[in-house]
Structure formats: structure tokens, C-alpha cells
Chains A and B, each alone.
Chain A
């Protein structure tokens, strides 16, 4: 961790007064990184890159967008037809949002598989969950801006969730709306929030990276770095690996943008908002589907079965509480998971239940896209129950009863031992 010697006198002059070059050298070039990171570690930098793409395209879209109920829908269509490259920037922005969630979800699952959230990286993980929360808020208000039918009715359904807050709920909903329904004041403030929130995400990402650089990256073995033999400099090794991953990612991202730009969209949202007609089915964007399934999973009559509960809580309130709990609980994962071993590589049972959890989340997503009737409702309820069972019961118990495999002494020892075994 020596200070670099700069030869260029201008760089030297600046660095003495504001050590930006030393900072870049320490945290991007020389930055010691475990040498065994696999491709699942690409998704953090990918998320950062998409955030920048979204902010850049968003700023230019804002130059052509009109946040007024009479003009918003038409201004978006104007961007698509008349504004130079408007179609491109809007499709990049639209699909970029989907990609951001996809990359971040993979990033989160990676953290769960390899136990990246365990000490001393708990706060790093919590800031990550806060970023997810801020992303969800940003995506939600952003989806309202084109002022299509799904924009309007999605906004109506989600803002109404706040009416379950005891005593002040109705007041809070009116306060969010700035009126008595989702209307022009709502659209105006959502535009303002949609501009503000990405910069809050940016600040959170900065904290996320700061916390990351305190104890550095975890790794697939989940063991601490023991010495110089375990690490390699970030540049050129991981700049190269990240760039390769970025290339693959861009093929997927731009593939959707150019060849199936409305793949993730809802056709209904190309119909202008009409406060007097509810679409036959209100479906959120794909990245909200699992939470939507949880929201709708609480049986209407679970209350009747228990008798006393209806006084305290209704099915609607229970659904809202479960939905928010499903996200907030993730922040407590460092304490819910009682195992001292980080990586699932050495946890034979966790390795399997992790994949069951992934499938459970996908099932919830599938259920969220379908009407809450018949077997969809039943499967949704089972999947919701399992989601919470995994986090609240399985994670604390597994650490206590699971027999873990022997852990290698160090990152480099793992490689050399494996090498000798193969050689014999």
C-alpha cells in the first residue's frame, strides 16, 4: 500500500493538493482483490455502469418530457417519433431499468450464495438493500411518467397501500397525491422524485463502495485473505474480466433494446390514462411481480379462522405488511443466518435450500403475473409461506444443525492442494 510516485509534474502538483490520483491508484489500480473471483462477481460493476447509463439517458429524456396530465402521454409519443434519437434513448432507458433490476437481483443472489453479507460486511449488505429500496421507489415513480393506463392504475394501487397505516393512512395518501386521486399534482411530484432518487442511489452506491473497500471483496471460498499470495491487483486483472462481462451484458441489453424493445413492457401502457376505466388486469413491471404475489397471497378468510384477529388486522393490512417485510427482512440476513461458514460451497444443505429459495422467488414472480384465482392463489400462498420460512426459520436453524465441510486454509492453499491432489 505504498504511495505511488508520479512523474508528470502537473499530476504531482494536483495530487499534493487533492490526492485524486493516489485515490485512483489505491482503489482502482493497485486495489488488492482476491484472485479467485468468478464471473458472479461481475454484476456489481455492471449495476454501477447501468446506473450511469440510466442517469445519462434520463437527463436527456427530461429535456423533452412534459409532466402534465394533458401532455405527458403525447410528449412521450413525440420523443418516440419526432425527437432525434428519442426512440433510442427512451428504449435504452426503459430496458435499462429492467436490466438494472436483473443485474442487481443476480448480485443479491450471489451475495446470498457465498454468504457475502457476513461479518464484517453486514453494513455493506444493508446499504445494498437500501439501494434496492431506492431503486424500487425510483422505478415505481418513473413508470407513472408516460401516463398510460398501467402508469395510472399502478400508481393508484400502490399509493393506496399507504392507507393501511393506522390513524393517519388516509391523510398520508392524500398528501402523496396532492389531491383526492392520482392527478396532475401527483404526476408533477413523481417527476421531481424520479429526478431526485437516482442521485440518492448514486450517493448510496458511494457508501456501498466505501464500505466494500474497508474489508475488500469476499470471494467464492468465503475465507479471509491471508496474505499477498491470495490477492492480485484490480488492474489489469479485474478491469479486463469486468470488461469482458460488460461486452456479454451489452449484447443482451442492446439485443432487447433494438430487437424486442417492448418485451418487458405492458401493451396496456400505450393507452393513455383514463381515471374512469380500470384495465381488466393490473400487472406491475416484472421486477415487482414476486412482491405483488406476496401482497395478494393473504387469504381473505385466514382471519375468520382465528376469530379475534379481525379487530387488529385485515387481510389487506396483512398483505401490505408481508410485502414490506419480504424486503426489510433481507437486511437482517447477516443475523438470521447463524452459520459461521460464509460460502455455500462448504454448506451441503444450504447449497440446496439456496436454489429452492431462488426457484421460490421465480415461482412468486410467475404467480404475480397471473390473476389471484384457483391454483394460482394456492401456489402463491405456499410460495409466500416458503419465502418467510426460508428466511426466518431455515436460516437460523441450518447454521446450528448443518455439518459443514472442511474449509481450506487460504485462497492460495485451496488452489495448490487441489493441484497436488489432481497430480497424484
Chain B
């Protein structure tokens, strides 16, 4: 800037660069201001405080029998809690070596092998897979089956066949004691 000022003798030209500077800085400040003003509108659509406040749920696992599943609601979504049988655990572990779309060891998906806890939403387009009730179809891998577009999940909730790209999600949870968990 100093160089330009010293070298320029031509009045109008210097005037023009000053005006350019004013114009550009005005536009920049205006654009930044508009962007900042837009944020409250955008953020208003994000989950509100009361929605976030309800974002954790505690569950008593005591009444669940082996081989039984329950569905609870966490953040408005179904969460599958299954007390797996020894046979299912063995099958899940044996399948660790099989070819999978989203490879993940069974041990990475559970905190205690008998308790499989996952978000019961198909990773394809958000339907709820069948397999919670004893009478439900469980798919070709004995786990869960999504009726919407035919995704098959195994006894560890891993995607084995069908259009879903990922395994059923594992929500964040912690064992409060032997038979109580907190999800979220």
C-alpha cells in the first residue's frame, strides 16, 4: 500500500483503488454479517435443548431371558436388546472370518458377549428390521431381516446380504451394574 501511494501521482487512479478497497471491504463485511445472521435460522432447525435432554435412557436387563429380545425407545429410535444364546454367540464368532461388506469382529460389537445392544434401524433407508419376535423371519443368517429392501443381518447384527451398506449401529452405552445399562 505504501509503495503504491508513493509511486502514484495520478489522482483519479489512486482514488479508484481506494474506492475498490472500500467497495470490497463493504461487500466482505456485509457478506460476513449476512452469514452470521443466517446462523440463528439454520441452528433453529437443529435438535433443541429439550430434545437433547431426553437423549439418554436407562434399562433394567433383569427380566430378559436367554434367547429373548426387547425393543426400547431411545431418542425416538428403537433399540434392540438381545440376550444371545451360546449357540448364537458361537455362530457370530465363527463368522468373524467370513467375507463381509462391513467387516467387524463380534467382540468389537458387544461389551458382554450375551448382551447384544444395537440401534434397530436398517442402515439402508431407515426401516425397522424384523427378528425381535420369535415368530419373525430372521433372514438367512439367523439374525434380523429388513422387509423393505431385503437386507439380512447376522446374530451380531452385521450386514451379510442385501442393499444396506453398514452393520446395525451400536449406540453408546455403559453397564451401571450387572443388570442395568444406560444408553446414550
Q: Which residues of A contact B (CB under 8 A)?
A: 153, 156-157, 159-161, 174-183, 185, 189, 275-278, 280-282, 296, 300, 314-316, 319, 372-373
Interface presence of B76 (CB below 8 A): yes
Chain A nearest CB from B5 CB (Å) reads 45
Closest to A181 in B: B76
Among the stretches B21-29, B86-94, B110-118, B122-130, the one at the interface with A is B122-130
Establish whether residues B165 and A278, one from each chain, have CB atoms under 8 Å apart when the complex forms. Answer: no
- Summarize B's interface: helix, strand, loop or mixed: loop
Chain A nearest CB from B59 CB (Å) reads 15
Contact residues in A for B47 (Cβ distance below 8 Å):
174, 177-180, 185
A-B interface, 10 closest residue pairs, ranked by CB to CB distance from nearest? A180-B75, A181-B76, A160-B126, A278-B127, A157-B125, A278-B128, A314-B165, A156-B126, A179-B51, A183-B76
Contact residues in A for B77 (Cβ distance below 8 Å):
180-181, 275
Q: Which residues of B contact A (CB under 8 A)?
A: 42, 45-48, 51, 55, 71, 73, 75-78, 124-128, 147-150, 162-165
Contacts A179-B51, A300-B163 hold; do A157 and B127 have CB atoms under 8 A apart?
yes
Q: A180-B51, A276-B71 are in contact. List 5 more A-B contacts (CB 8 A).
A: A156-B125, A175-B46, A181-B76, A183-B76, A373-B150
Can you offer 26 A-B residue contacts whose CB atoms are under 8 A?
A153-B127, A156-B126, A157-B125, A157-B126, A157-B127, A161-B125, A175-B42, A178-B45, A178-B46, A178-B48, A179-B75, A180-B76, A180-B77, A181-B77, A182-B76, A183-B51, A185-B48, A275-B78, A276-B71, A277-B128, A278-B128, A280-B147, A315-B163, A316-B125, A316-B165, A372-B149
- Measured CA separation A300–B164 after assembly (Å): 9
Contact residues in A for B149 (Cβ distance below 8 Å):
296, 372
Contact residues in B for A314 (Cβ distance below 8 Å):
165
Chain A nearest CB from B141 CB (Å) reads 15
Contact residues in A for B147 (Cβ distance below 8 Å):
278, 280-281
Closest to A320 in B: B125
Establish whether residues B76 and A176, one from each chain, have CB atoms under 8 Å apart when the complex forms. Answer: no
Contact residues in A for B163 (Cβ distance below 8 Å):
296, 300, 315-316, 319
Chain B nearest CB from A181 CB (Å) reads 4
Establish whether residues A160 and B75, one from each chain, have CB atoms under 8 Å apart when the complex forms. Answer: no
